[in-house]
Every structure is written in C-alpha cells, then in structure tokens.
C-alpha cells in the first residue's frame, strides 16, 4: 500500500515522502479500512517534527483521522461489516491507502456524509463537541465566545454550537477570517486585533449580550487573548482551554474566579478514547446527526492527492490556512 512514512523527525515537511509499505495485518478485533480521505491537523506537524508530547517509534505513518470503506473485519468484530462507511480516529496511521484500527476506533457514518467531509470533521469536530458540551456544559439559549474562531476547531465549534441552539460570538483578527466565521453561522464577530484588547473585547461582548457577558468561552489561543476573553464571561460563566497557539500559557488569578463564580476547565481529546470510548462513539453519532440536519459542514480549504502530502503539510505549516486541508486517496 502507499503511505507517508516518517523515518526521521523534521520540521521540513518536504523531507517526508510517500512510499510503498506492507499492508497491515488484521487482528481478530480489528477493522481494515480502504482510506478515501484523511485530514491534516496541527498536531500532525508536531508529531512529524518530534515536538509532540507523545511520539511514536520510527518509522511510522502519521495522521489522526481518516474516512473510508470497511474492507475486512476481524473474527471478533460485531459492530461493523464489510462495505460500511466509517471515520477512524487514531493517534497515527491515517496518511495511507489502507488503515487497520481496533473496532472501537472506527465509527459508522451515514452515506450522506462525503468522505472528505467525514475526514475533515474527525479530530477538530470531536474536540469542539467535547469542549462545548462535556467541559463547557453549553445549553440551548446560552451564548458562547470562541477565540481563534477561523481555525479548524473554531469553525467546528461555531457550527456545533448553532446546532445546539446557542448564540455564537466569533473572535477573529482579519476581515477574511470574519467572512469565514459568518459563513459558518456566527451571530456576531468580535475583533481581536483592536488596540487595548482587554477593554475593547469586553465592550464588544457587552454590546452583543446586552451587558451580561458570555456563558461559555472556548479558547485555543491562550496568551493575551485568554486574559481579555475571561473578563467577558458572565457570572457563573465557564471557560474551556483547548490550546495555546499564541505560545503563552494563561495564568489565572484565583480571586477573579471567586468574584464572579467562574469555572475554568481544560480539554484534551485523546483522554476520551483512552478512558471513555463510549463517549467518543456517542459524540460521533451526534455529529452525524448534526451533519444530516445541515448544521455541520466542514470548511475544506483545499484537497491534495496523497502523493502531494508534502505540499499540503507545508501549507498547513505556513499557519495561514482557514479551515481544513484534506488528502484524497
């Protein structure tokens, strides 16, 4: 089969190549998938450069989410059958023409979901879903502020929040980003590039919420953006930290949390398939439902054939991508 094979860690995507490798061996509890599409995520770049918190032994095949058709199932597999359309969520292995995973890592998807869309949903939609629901406790009728809203997780969070009946305020730094979040359903756009961010952001949020503030704040950015956004929370508001792409980990004043009864939670998706795989399956079923209902539509910026993996990874590394990049096989 064809696969991207990482022999040495490197920050330069063009040092990694597509090679012919042996087909995986299917165990009794495994599912072999003929991969039709796989998406690129920022953690893939960290893994390939050797900077991720958990690194596989080399050589390895990167890629955390893929969609395709079940080709073979192991003797103990009961939940899936040959011909089923599935999305697979794993630590590594998706950038290949075939993927073998434990049955718990493959989730059936309806035929209405295109393979490219299913792959693009993968990790980012799961992350956004758990951040909003399990960690943020978002309820119908509440208001959520999403920083970094034009990124993959941000756009996913906008669509999911709208599907759950919430009002969405989307934080952006450019008009191009503003247009992307509007297309995904954001009710209000919050300018994160304004001078004196702390005061400007609070004023914008208070105008959009009649002075109340937001019920939930979802943050993949960190740094000064987090410091400003947490001040815009309503009383009993909930902040959910999912990353620090700004490079600065937030430091939170406990006294501020006490004054407004604010809760702060972290969200790291890989904890869920490890300790609560049934929740991952439930989340995928809900995401499938939101797709069929028309709320979820991944923003795919560009597709690349597997053989052009290096070009796709280089574009992702440029940090200028709005939405998702997808490999097709």
User: Which one, of 180, 181, 177, lies nearest residue 168 by Cα?
Assistant: 181
Instruction: Name the band, by pLDDT with cuts 50, 70 and 90, for residue 101.
Output: very high
Tokens 């049934």 found at = 278
Q: Are residues 48 and 98 in the same domain?
A: yes
- Residue 266 structure tokens: 């972290």
Domain that holds residue 78: 2-108+299-328
Residue 324 lies in a domain: yes
- The arithmetic mean of pLDDT across residues 66-71, rounded, is 99
**Helix (H, G, I), strand (E, B), or coil: what is residue 296?**
coil
- The arithmetic mean of pLDDT across residues 169-182, rounded, is 96
Number of domains in the chain: 2
Q: Are residues 8 and 63 in the same domain?
A: yes
pLDDT greater than 90 at residue 17? yes
Query: How much is the pLDDT for 40?
Result: 97
Q: Are residues 141 and 247 in the same domain?
A: yes
Query: How much is the pLDDT for 320?
Result: 79
Residue 290 lies in a domain: no
Residue 144 lies in a domain: yes
Query: How much is the pLDDT for 69?
Result: 99
Answer with the one of 213, 243, 266 that is the final residue of a domain: 266
Residue 45 lies in a domain: yes
Residue 13 lies in a domain: yes
Residue 123 lies in a domain: no
Residue 103 lies in a domain: yes
Q: Are residues 87 and 139 in the same domain?
A: no
Count CB atoms within 10 A of the CB of residue 80: 18
Tokens 């952001």 found at = 201
Calpha distance 309→318 (Å, rounded)? 14
Contacts of 200 (CB under 8 A, 6+ apart): 191, 194, 228
- The arithmetic mean of pLDDT across residues 120-133, rounded, is 98
pLDDT greater than 80 at residue 246? no
* CATH for 210: 3.40.50.720
Q: Are residues 49 and 155 in the same domain?
A: no
Residue 204 lies in a domain: yes
């Amino acid at each position: 089969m064809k696969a991207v094979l990482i022999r040495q860690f490197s920050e330069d995507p063009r040092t990694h190549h597509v090679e012919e490798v042996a087909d995986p061996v299917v165990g009794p509890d495994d599912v072999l998938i003929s991969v039709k599409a796989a998406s690129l995520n920022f953690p893939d770049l960290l893994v390939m450069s050797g900077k991720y918190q958990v690194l596989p032994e080399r050589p390895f095949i990167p890629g955390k989410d893929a969609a395709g058709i079940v080709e073979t199932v192991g003797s103990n597999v009961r939940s899936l059958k040959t011909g089923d359309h599935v999305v697979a969520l794993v630590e590594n292995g998706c950038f290949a023409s075939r993927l073998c995973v434990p049955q718990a890592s493959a989730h059936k998807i309806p035929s209405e979901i295109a393979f490219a869309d299913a792959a693009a949903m993968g990790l980012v939609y799961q992350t956004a879903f758990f951040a909003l629901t399990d960690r943020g406790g978002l309820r119908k009728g509440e208001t959520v502020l999403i920083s970094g809203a034009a990124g993959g997780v941000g756009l996913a969070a906008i669509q999911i929040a709208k599907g759950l009946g919430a009002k969405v305020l989307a934080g952006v730094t450019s008009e191009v980003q503003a247009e992307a979040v509007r297309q995904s359903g954001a009710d209000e756009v919050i300018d994160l590039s304004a001078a004196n961010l702390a005061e400007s952001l609070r004023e914008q949020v208070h105008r959009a919420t009649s002075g109340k503030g937001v019920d939930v704040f979802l943050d993949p950015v960190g740094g000064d953006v987090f410091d400003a956004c947490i001040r815009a929370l309503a009383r009993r508001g909930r902040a959910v930290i999912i990353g620090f792409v700004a490079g600065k980990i937030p430091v939170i004043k406990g006294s501020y949390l006490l004054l407004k009864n604010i809760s702060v939670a972290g969200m790291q998706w890989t904890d869920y398939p490890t300790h609560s795989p049934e929740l991952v399956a439930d989340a995928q079923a809900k995401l499938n439902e939101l797709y069929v209902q028309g709320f979820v539509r991944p923003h795919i910026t560009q597709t690349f054939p597997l053989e052009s993996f290096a070009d796709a990874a280089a574009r992702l590394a440029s940090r200028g991508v709005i939405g998702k990049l997808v490999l097709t096989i």
